[in-house]
Chain A
Amino acid sequence: MTDPRLSQLAKVLVHYSIAVKKGDWVRIEGNCVAEELMRQAMVEILKAGGYPMLRPSLPGTGYILYKHASKEQLEFIPPSAVVEVEKLDCRIFFWGGMNSRELTNIDPKRIAISSRAAKPLFDKMLARISSGALRWVGTMFPTQSAAQDAEMSLEEYEDFVFRAGMLHKPDPVAEWKKLSTRQAKLVRVLNRLSTVRITAPDTDLSFKVKGRRWINCDGRQNFPDGEVFTCPHENSAEGFIRYTFPAVYQGREVENVRLEFRKGKVVSAKADKAEEFLNAMLDTDPGARHVGELAFGTNYAIQRFTRNTLFDEKIGGTIHIAVGASLPEAGGKNKSGVHWDMVCDTRKNSVIYGDGKPIARNGRFLIP
């Protein structure tokens, strides 16, 4: 029997997030553990007049490829993939598998061979996304594996995931439209600011944001969603921050990260666990020590940290500041192979200032 929240999720994704129209080619990708959600998405795509193209992957096959394939096999791009990247109108990604550590023992160089070979396709896809020709959304299908990482039972985790998507409400699409309108107002206010200063325990960090665009993330590319972000001026960050939640990157966890910024650059990076990994990532390339993103998490249905950036960076009342690559749509100019979102809890003993005046206190905005 289908969990009614799965059919709700499929409706929101197809009719709200990517808004499938008649004739659209819609590719659905994900581990077949999400098969029921794939069926429900197929129903909604057909109702909208689109052409569903199902691409379920089998558990363990990613590992088999990286373990046994030759260099040529790793680099292989099927001709059909080239056609699809030119023609697809929409893509839906269902994240979540059977084992979040499946690739832990695979040499990252082998993964990089595949990524390099797929880069032209990836760039083409990014270009089509930014021109509006391709719409995409990614969501998390709740699995035992992700529940284990979140330290929850599957039933609890399903409740957590579906509540974060407001799928327990009678009309989730209406809820997301409301959130979108609310965030649009917030963005208009933030767009007028020249500086932002964040204060919290062991944190006092300022940025110049003048002329940069704030973006309203309202559930169209990530689902669930709920954040507004911009890319501050690359050389403007001054001060220090302590990230209260563990910073998770490529399956590695760094605890109690403390960064100090001078003229936009990280000049000191300390942590209680995996400090070496933190510094190695910051030394990846020149851009990795600069801020690529400054964002407010605005989804107040997410309260708990679950070791999954999709949810963690949206926890209502938190901020996240990413080091590494910035996003051109917000006016960011920082380039890097790294984009690492680190989340800081600002729900207690925190004030955020815009042009010197308080704009948020203890995780709640003081402006509409």
Chain B
Amino acid sequence: MAACIAEYSMGIEPGMLVLLQTEPSGFPLVREVFRHALALGAHPYTRTHYPDLDEILFTEGTDEQVGFVSELTLAEIERIDARLVVRAPDNLSALASVKPERLGLARRAQSKVMERIFARKASGALHLCLTQYPTDASAQQAGMSLADYEAFVFRACFCDRPDPVAAWRELSGTQERYVDLLSTVKELKFESADADLTLSVAGRKWVNSDGKANFPSGEVFTGPVEDSARGRIRFDIPAIHSGRPVSGIEIEFENGRVKAARAERGDVLLQSLLDTDAGSRLLGEVAFGLNYGIDRATGNILFDEKIGGTIHMAVGSGYPETGSKNKSGLHWDMIKDMKQGRVYADGSVIYENGKFIE
């Protein structure tokens, strides 16, 4: 896994300054990435992030302290060439009791850091990678033993295959072909027993997410034309927001907007999220999940949205690099199993029963 991240995802080269950031339980992975980064001639350094200290800051710090961003952080962002963030939670409820306003305060303060990070990323000067180290907390969330969850994560990362890097290069090539195909398409139609939805992707750019920014990955996505979605769809995999599952979501679109929506469970949260702002009833993303090493939902979006044989759509903000113009404080992915569905591109079938027709 570490070799894959260092060589393939991060593309570490001699002389690069590489920040490896983790939570305490992710140390075993960071140790190995550190070793690979050294062997590749880079200058790796590490930072351990303690969620317990966040809790203390959020509950005991003043507003000024919560909103503080040090110039060291800003200087670091300008200087590093690559950053790996390893998620390795010990308790997914660690911040459950922190007031949302305090979290919002910190998020707003971080926005100038994020702005610089994305600017340097867009210029190609900074490479970012996010990954997940399997812990008991995530296994518990997924309803598995740690041993089973580790096997699940390694399969998702193709680390159960003889040459994982080759497997990722192959996935990248396959997805590139889908991107080429989809780039010629104006209109997509999603059809199954509980979906009949049409949207336009004319002039939008499809992105090949091939395990470099997210590891694992395995999806191609774009931002649909904002006022184009029409029809109905049922998202059968629970959509998680702030740790809470919303399941059995059914949505009807008209002129790109969510006209009606209901959920079997978590309907109140669904309605309030859709009312976040002007952009939260429009689609910001449409995507195909293409990682066939991921075969089940585990309540973690990093994995769920990439399940091979699914599609997902996000209400709320879109990614500017796709040409999406939708802006919102919300970006919420909802996933649908398409193993018994079809996708039509400008009238002809391109995808059937969970797979692109080659």
Task: Flag if B136 contacts A145 (CB, 8 Å).
Answer: yes
CB distance from B196 to the nearest CB of A (A): 28
Q: Which residue of B52, B55, B93, B144 is within 8 Å of A101 (Cβ)?
A: B144
Number of interface residues of B (CB under 8 A): 24
Docked complex Cα distance between A299 and B308 (Å) = 50
Q: Which residue of B91, B145, B148, B243 is within 8 Å of A144 (Cβ)?
A: B91
* Chain B residues within an 8 Å CB radius of A102: 139-140, 145-146
Docked complex Cα distance between A309 and B92 (Å) = 21
Asked if A144 meets B137 with Cβ closer than 8 Å, knowing A153-B95, A155-B52, the reply is yes
Task: Flag if B139 contacts A99 (CB, 8 Å).
Answer: yes
* Chain B residues within an 8 Å CB radius of A153: 52, 55, 91, 93-97
Residues of A contacting B: mostly: loop
Docked complex Cα distance between A63 and B147 (Å) = 9
* Chain B residues within an 8 Å CB radius of A105: 143-145, 148
Q: Which residue of B90, B93, B136, B141 is within 8 Å of A152 (Cβ)?
A: B93
Most buried by A among B55, B90, B136, B143: B136
CB-CB nearest in chain B for A102: B145
Docked complex Cα distance between A59 and B147 (Å) = 11
Docked complex Cα distance between A322 and B95 (Å) = 33
Docked complex Cα distance between A272 and B263 (Å) = 13
Task: Flag if A148 contacts B91 (CB, 8 Å).
Answer: yes
Docked complex Cα distance between A108 and B198 (Å) = 45
* Chain B residues within an 8 Å CB radius of A148: 91-93, 137, 140-141
Number of interface residues of A (CB under 8 A): 27
* Chain A residues within an 8 Å CB radius of B146: 59-60, 63, 98-99, 102
B265 contacts the other chain (Cβ, under 8 Å)? yes
Docked complex Cα distance between A348 and B96 (Å) = 26
* Chain B residues within an 8 Å CB radius of A147: 91, 93-94
* Chain A residues within an 8 Å CB radius of B137: 99, 144-145, 148
A151 contacts the other chain (Cβ, under 8 Å)? yes
A36 contacts the other chain (Cβ, under 8 Å)? no
Task: Flag if A101 contacts B91 (CB, 8 Å).
Answer: no
Docked complex Cα distance between A99 and B141 (Å) = 9
A156 contacts the other chain (Cβ, under 8 Å)? yes
Asked if A98 meets B91 with Cβ closer than 8 Å, knowing A153-B52, A156-B97, the reply is no
Docked complex Cα distance between A99 and B146 (Å) = 8
A103 contacts the other chain (Cβ, under 8 Å)? yes
| Given A98-B136, A101-B139, A153-B91, 11 new contacts (CB under 8 A) | A59-B136, A63-B145, A102-B139, A104-B145, A105-B145, A105-B148, A144-B136, A150-B93, A151-B96, A151-B97, A153-B52
